């Protein structure tokens, strides 16, 4: 019985050390407390999209869910790869491709064209005869 008690104490203390070490890392992770803020960000983003793209109710709800998922995953990528910018960019690009695929499934062709125009900033017009040296 004494050996069982000693074993349990040993396991308990080891677990405490591991959780203490990981608590520093976990403190920065998104938590359920941040879910409300994430939900609000998704609503604001979807509302802006709705104004621009004239979404119907079904499209609005489906995009809100996709936006919330995207924002959560984006936050996760930014946190997980904060020390590796190249990996961070690669993962964010993958996420953007996935997001665009999901939008293609929901939006009409006209809405999709407008969505793509909004997503891609317009290139400044330059005169081909100017050399750009002021």
Confidence of residue 119 (pLDDT cuts 50, 70, 90): confident
Cβ atoms of 71 and 41 within 8 Å: the answer is: yes
Q: Once rounded to an integer, what is the mean pLDDT over residues 106-121?
A: 90
Q: What is the pLDDT of residues 66-112, one digit of tens each?
A: 999 999 999 999 999 999 999 999 999 999 999 999 999 999 999 99
Q: Once rounded to an integer, what is the mean pLDDT over residues 43-58?
A: 96
How far is C-alpha 42 from the geometric centre of its chain's CA atoms?
A: 10
Measured CA to CA, the distance from residue 103 to residue 67 in angstroms comes to: 10
Confidence of residue 123 (pLDDT cuts 50, 70, 90): low
What does the pLDDT read at residue 70? 96
Q: How high does pLDDT run on average in the chain?
A: 80
What does the pLDDT read at residue 63? 97
End-to-end CA distance of the chain: 87
- Token readout for 13 is 């203390």
35-53 helix and 57-80 helix, angle to the nearest 10 degrees: 130
What does the pLDDT read at residue 68? 96
Pick from 38, 75, 44: nearest CA to 60: 44
Per-residue exposure over 51-89, b if at least 16 CB sit within 10 Å of its own CB, e if not: eebebeeebbebbbebbbbbbbbebebeeebeeeeeebe
Pick left, alpha or beta for residue 45 (phi over 0 → left; psi -120 to 50 → alpha; otherwise beta): alpha
SS3 state of residue 100: helix
Cβ atoms of 81 and 87 within 8 Å: the answer is: yes
């Amino acid at each position: 019985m004494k050996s069982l008690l000693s074993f349990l104490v040993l396991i308990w203390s080891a677990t405490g050390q591991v959780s203490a070490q990981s608590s520093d890392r976990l403190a920065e992770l998104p938590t359920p407390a941040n879910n409300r803020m994430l939900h609000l960000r998704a609503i604001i983003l979807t509302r802006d999209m709705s104004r621009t793209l004239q979404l119907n109710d079904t499209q609005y709800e489906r995009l809100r869910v996709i936006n919330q998922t995207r924002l959560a995953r984006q936050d996760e990528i930014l946190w997980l790869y904060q020390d590796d910018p190249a990996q961070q960019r690669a993962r964010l690009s993958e996420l953007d491709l996935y997001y665009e695929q999901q939008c293609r499934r929901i939006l009409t062709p006209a809405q999709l064209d407008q969505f793509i125009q909004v997503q891609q900033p317009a290139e400044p017009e330059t005169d081909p005869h100017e050399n750009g040296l002021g």
